């Protein structure tokens, strides 16, 4: 049997018989004395198994003679359900580092730190492995806004418990602060920030809230209103980006051959359509309901992006570009 099977066999024998002599473990596992000693050492040192040698009973047992439920630091020892080799552990440590780097608000870090410690223990290199990952992998999170951890946790708890929320919300567009009762429907992570899709009982409709703009959140002991996912997607999930709206239109954008080398690998929308033209230019078509975010992305490419349709989007982009140029000229003149 392999090492994993031996670990489970040792655990089973100790749980059933409470005290097991060394010779009985050897016979049951059919391994050498050196291999059994290494297995016991690994279980104690790496997996924190509370295995002790009972001199009086002349056998191994779990501390406290509690069998499978032996206490260990206020908890219970159980063999993990997943086993990893060194490469898999390195991959998990790297993923954890990525998560910590992307989690600028510290929302998830405290909850995954125990996993980090256990993975380092399995590697047997203490902090060396984690430090090597931090040194070799760098994540630069841009445009992430800070948010209140307590508010985020209340939003998440209400969402999963299907309870309503009473929130104080700061709408940055109008600079207005309002108190609303909402039924949370789903959390969305988009461009480094979190958003809440919810039914707003004040406005009596589906709304999207930036979680970092929620100044206060209180869980109400009222059942949340459920909305079919299809209806939710029609109102909040059909258009471009996080801005939503009722009427969905399709934008047709043409990028120069130079920019096409990047655009062919970018996803602007899950339902986008794109193809290269004969001259190497890239034609991108995507749905949008509110043009604000789309216009920002179009202007980012300057003259390398041409809006082909619809005409109202062409006009809006032209007006925004002219206004931006006017501001720059005014600043230069001053």
Q: Determine the pLDDT at residue 250.
A: 95
Query: With bands split at pLDDT 50, 70 and 90, how would you rate the model's confidence at 115?
Result: low
CATH of 149-237, picked from 3.90.120, 3.30.750, 3.40.50, 2.30.30, is: 2.30.30
Q: Which of 152, 93, 154 is nearest to 127 (CA)?
A: 93
Strand order in the sheet with 193-200: 205-210, 193-200, 176-190, 163-171, 214-223
Q: How many percent of the chain have pLDDT more than 70?
A: 74
**Residue 107 DSSP symbol:** S
Q: Locate the domains of the chain by residue range.
A: 3-76, 86-136, 149-237, 249-332
Residue range 291-306, pLDDT digits in tens: 988 999 999 999 999 9
Query: With bands split at pLDDT 50, 70 and 90, how would you rate the model's confidence at 73?
Result: very low
CATH class for domain 3-76? mainly alpha
Instruction: Find out whether 245 and 290 touch, Cβ atoms under 8 Å.
Output: yes
Residue range 211-238, pLDDT digits in tens: 999 999 999 999 999 999 888 887 887 6
Query: With bands split at pLDDT 50, 70 and 90, how would you rate the model's confidence at 70?
Result: very low
Residue range 266-278, pLDDT digits in tens: 888 888 999 999 9
DSSP of 20-42: B-HHHHHHHHT--HHHHHHHHHH
């Amino acid at each position: 049997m392999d090492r994993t099977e031996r670990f489970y066999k040792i655990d089973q024998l100790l749980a059933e018989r409470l005290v097991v002599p060394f010779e009985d473990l050897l016979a049951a596992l059919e391994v050498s004395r050196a291999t059994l000693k290494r297995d016991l050492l690994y279980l104690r040192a790496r997996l924190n198994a509370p295995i002790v040698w009972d001199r009086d009973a002349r056998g191994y047992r779990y501390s406290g003679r509690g069998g499978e439920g032996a206490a260990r630091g206020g908890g219970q020892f159980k063999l993990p359900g997943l086993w990893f080799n060194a490469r898999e552990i390195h991959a998990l440590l790297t993923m954890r580092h990525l998560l910590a780097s992307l989690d600028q608000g510290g929302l998830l870090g405290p909850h995954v730190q125990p996993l980090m410690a256990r993975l380092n223990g399995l590697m047997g290199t203490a902090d060396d492995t984690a430090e090597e990952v931090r040194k070799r992998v760098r994540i630069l999170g841009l445009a992430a806004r800070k948010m209140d951890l307590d508010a985020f946790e209340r939003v998440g708890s209400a969402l999963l418990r299907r309870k309503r929320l009473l929130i104080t919300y700061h709408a940055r567009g109008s600079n207005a602060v309002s108190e609303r009762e909402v039924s949370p429907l789903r959390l969305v992570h988009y461009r480094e920030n979190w958003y809440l899709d919810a039914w707003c009982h004040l406005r009596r409709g589906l709304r999207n809230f930036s979680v970092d703009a929620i100044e206060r959140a209180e869980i109400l002991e009222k059942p949340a209103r459920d909305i079919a996912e299809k209806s939710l997607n029609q109102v909040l999930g059909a258009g471009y980006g996080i801005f939503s709206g009722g009427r969905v239109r399709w934008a047709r954008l043409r990028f120069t051959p130079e920019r096409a080398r990047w655009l062919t690998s970018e996803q602007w929308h899950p339902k986008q359509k794109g193809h290269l033209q004969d001259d190497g230019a890239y034609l991108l078509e995507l749905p949008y309901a509110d043009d604000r975010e789309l216009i920002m992305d179009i202007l980012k490419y300057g003259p390398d992006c041409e809006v082909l349709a619809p005409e109202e989007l062409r006009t809006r982009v032209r007006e925004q570009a002219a206004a931006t140029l006017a501001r720059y000229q005014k600043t230069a003149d001053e």
